[in-house]
Structure 1
Amino acid sequence: MKMEAVVFDGQALTLKYDAQYPMPKIVNDTDVLVKVEYAGICGTDLHIIQGEFPAIKDRPLALGHEFSGIVHDAGKASIFKKGQKVVVDPNRACNLCDFCRKGKYQYCLTAGINSTIGIWKDGGWAQYCCVPQDQVYALPDGITTEQAGLCEPYSCVAHGFDRASPLLVGEKILIVGAGIIGNLWVTTLHHHGHRDVTVSEMNKARLDIVKKLDTGFRLVTPDVLEKDKILYDVIIDCTGVGKVMEISFNYLKPGGKYVLFGCCPPTHQASVNPYQIYDKELTIIGVKINPFSFPNAIGWIKAMGSRYLDYNKLGVKTYALSEYESAMKDLKAGAVAKAMFKIV
């Protein structure tokens, strides 16, 4: 059987729509065949397509590591049943190395980011995807598959939130970059009671999207940051641009924390002043994927509901798989905060 998919060729660095891509089959008794309904395009996907982030080169595959859907079928030993609403965690532990056995599979040299569904194995930019059941989460009542399409990025934010904690209400926080990740941090901080938050973004169209979230946060362009000389307790960098860190690092208060959340290409460099780190006792926090943070993300999504998870307010636009070129174009132009494939 065949299905629709958006397929990436790691050798040629090309992307194409394929209406005759092989439909996956259940191989193991604990496999789950998911009928995909929503699949997001991540900034990491753009880096992959441009050859800036490691991905499989042995064969073409369907990209997509952020997706939700319905159980279409399951192996005879699976706990999942046909018709269940689910979301898929694309990352897993090898369960054998010291990192994994300490609950830190983001550092695993064989699993974690090195075995991600949608990067190293066929992913969610397709009508169907077959995954191991230990990477599948049933959605509780009150969460739609549309909302759960954002579960994977929220799980990464949840891990970042844990890494940066304590984030005390009343602290002065700066979010740099108002793409979808910046917007998810906006909703997360507002939901947790933070109000003294500034969002910096050079693309004014993106700032207009943040306004729709109605948080009351201060929205500025980078030149304003440079002029006002305000210092912050916490800076959350969602840009994935090394040069931005070089500039923004100077806006930290003594004792401040710099959360490097956006994924920079490996070639990016940033120069920071070691004396500042010593003198101000600054902390630099890296955030890599989402180790065991899917339950937190699901809890957040259920608690946030439509107040925060409205696609229109977040700047999320949906596309058919066959419209992938338009999706990529809009995303790169900043016309949307996030492009999402709707496969229902």
Structure 2
Amino acid sequence: MHHLSMLMKSCQQSDDFLFSSSPGVKLGSTPRQHVGNTCYLMQGVIVSPVALMVSALADPQSHEFIKQGVELPPVTPKSRKTFKTRAQALRTNSVAPSPAASSGSMEKWMKLARTLEARRELMRATCAKYKSHTSRTITREHVRMIYVEDQYKLLYCEVPKAGCSNWKRTLMVLAGLASDTRAISHDTVHYKNHLKKLDSFDYNGIMHRLQTYTKVVFAREPLERLVSAYRDKFENPNRHYHTVYGRPIIAKYRTHPSPESLSTGNGVTFTEFVQYLLDVHRPVGMDIHWTLVDNLCHPCLIDYNFIGKFENMQEESNFLLRLMKAPRNLTLPQFKDRNPKDQKTSSEITGKYFAQVSPWQRQRVYDFFYMDYQMFNYSKPFKDIH
């Protein structure tokens, strides 16, 4: 622990590590590459108990450190004993992440834990392959999408159109800001949630949480996420998106637009939306709903220890909640409160939308989201993609 405290102190003493509105806290680049970069690696020195338990479930035979009293935050005899008891119980099946778990359900949790560990290894390998020479620093901009729940020591990076509304509802209940996820409206969860963001803390507060909290991100098949965003923002009434994005998109990409469409921005077609996305000289900037997860959550810079998938969100989210010792009656809500009559965007629906654009455009959109496909191990969406 003395060595650990010295490492933390050395990270904090340099003037290079002071946060400001400009690039600040110099933590290095990608995982497992610049091994001399102590401050980046500090994210993994103090591992969250949830991350250790996922690792123990994934490979119970290799985790003798559980028996050896590894020091965990907060480092007290009581907390260490609590963690050892919980982790050992998971290994011996005497306690499971859910009540009265059978051997079959324990095997399910172990399989899921192995999947989560494999995702982390793939992320590290992908970052090493594609971003090993990228010099990066952590700034407030890098952590602006991350929500903080201090009681359960959780950092959640918001990815729009990947289940973020229901995860924010869950965070509100965990934080004591609401008692029932089903009673939280769309406007409340997005505009009045009163949840804390990581960029609101000072340097020490940010580093402490990056080092000790469970860091969570959920991804979604990139083109399905894109189509979901288009349907939500342009096929339904939405004054903000029709005005800010619809009007300039129609003005630039539509031949002979009507005065009404130029005035309202209503009726942007999917082809026009794709033209806008691929244009290096866009008439209006990008939006978080169709920005890459790589650029929202920076997984090559922030060492996420729980990488979930939207496609299996219920099971994976509830697994995490059980490991966190969240209230037993709290599960991730499933309802769709915005445009509930719309059919959920699926691979079939995504295919119908992309049938409207040329093969060249399909390839270009795939290329645009290439890093998300690689980082999160999604298959190529169409046969003609190379």
Same fold? TM cut 0.5: no
TM-score range, shorter chain: under 0.3
TM normalised by structure 2 equals: 0.22
TM normalised by structure 1 equals: 0.24
Going by fraction, where is helix more abundant, 1 or 2? 2
Instruction: State the structure with more CA Rg.
Output: 2
